[in-house]
């Protein structure tokens, strides 16, 4: 079992763009009975994954991720996931031992750019690059699962 500890921030400028190249992501969510557990199917480039995440406790939650056949992922995304799908480009930037992931959303979430960083512990101190803005870690509107239900362009 893996525990994900993650902080999210809005991105304030484009100075990060020269530091990384993006890869295309497409993902969708399967509705769960308790609406607290997240089941996600994701295509990254030409690879596909099934991910199950528990409810967040602070900045932490359990996360289980498994590779699945690409063709299965495409079928699941088009037949089992509630729309709209999340479409984005993800960029990764190394900062010491940590990796920033910048998501530039497309489709119905176009205009939104979020930077995430996974931590080893919730109280870990991090240096914020100059392109980092307001923290949105505790604002559920910015969770990908909620962006699929209530896209950014509809706010």
Sequence ranges of the domains in the chain: 2-154
The answer to whether 132 touches 9, Cβ cutoff 8 Å, is: yes
Distance between CA atoms of residues 45 and 4, nearest Å = 23
Predicted pLDDT at 1: 58
In three state form, how does the secondary structure of 30-99 look?
Answer: ECCCCCCCEEEEEEECCEEEEEEECCCECCEEEEEEEEECHHHHHHHHHHCCEEEEEEEEEEEEEECCEE
Respond yes or no: is residue 138 known to be catalytic.
no
The answer to whether 52 touches 38, Cβ cutoff 8 Å, is: yes
Among candidate residues 25, 29, 91, 142, the one labeled active-site is: 29
pLDDT digits (tens, 9 = 90+) for 98-110: 999 999 999 999 9
Phi and psi at residue 82, in whole multiples of 5°?
Answer: -75, 140
Predicted pLDDT at 70: 98
Residue with tokens 């031992």: 97
Enter the tokens of residue 20: 């990384």
Task: Check whether 135 has a pLDDT greater than 90.
Answer: yes
Predicted pLDDT at 2: 84
Task: Check whether 35 has a pLDDT greater than 80.
Answer: no
Q: Residue 83 — pLDDT band, cuts 50, 70, 90?
A: confident
Rounded to two decimals, what is the model's pTM?
A: 0.90
Enter the tokens of residue 71: 């063709």
CATH superfamily of 2-154: Hypothetical Protein Pfu-838710-001 (2.40.320.10)
Task: Check whether 27 has a pLDDT greater than 90.
Answer: yes
pLDDT digits (tens, 9 = 90+) for 41-73: 999 999 999 999 998 888 898 999 999 999 999
């Amino acid at each position: 079992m893996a525990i994900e500890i993650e902080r999210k921030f809005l991105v304030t400028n484009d100075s990060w763009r020269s530091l990384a190249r993006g890869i295309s992501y497409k993902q969708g969510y399967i509705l769960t009975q308790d609406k607290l557990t997240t089941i996600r199917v994701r295509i990254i480039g030409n690879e596909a994954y099934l991910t199950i995440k528990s409810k967040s406790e602070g900045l932490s939650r359990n996360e289980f991720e498994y590779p699945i056949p690409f063709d299965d992922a495409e079928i699941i995304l088009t037949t089992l996931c509630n729309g709209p799908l999340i479409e984005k480009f993800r960029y990764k930037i190394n900062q010491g031992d940590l990796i920033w992931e910048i998501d530039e959303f497309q489709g119905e979430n176009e205009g939104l750019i979020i930077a995430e960083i996974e931590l080893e512990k919730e109280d870990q101190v991090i240096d914020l690059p100059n392109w980092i803005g307001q923290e949105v870690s505790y604002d559920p509107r910015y969770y990908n699962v909620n962006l699929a239900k209530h896209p950014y362009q509809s706010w």
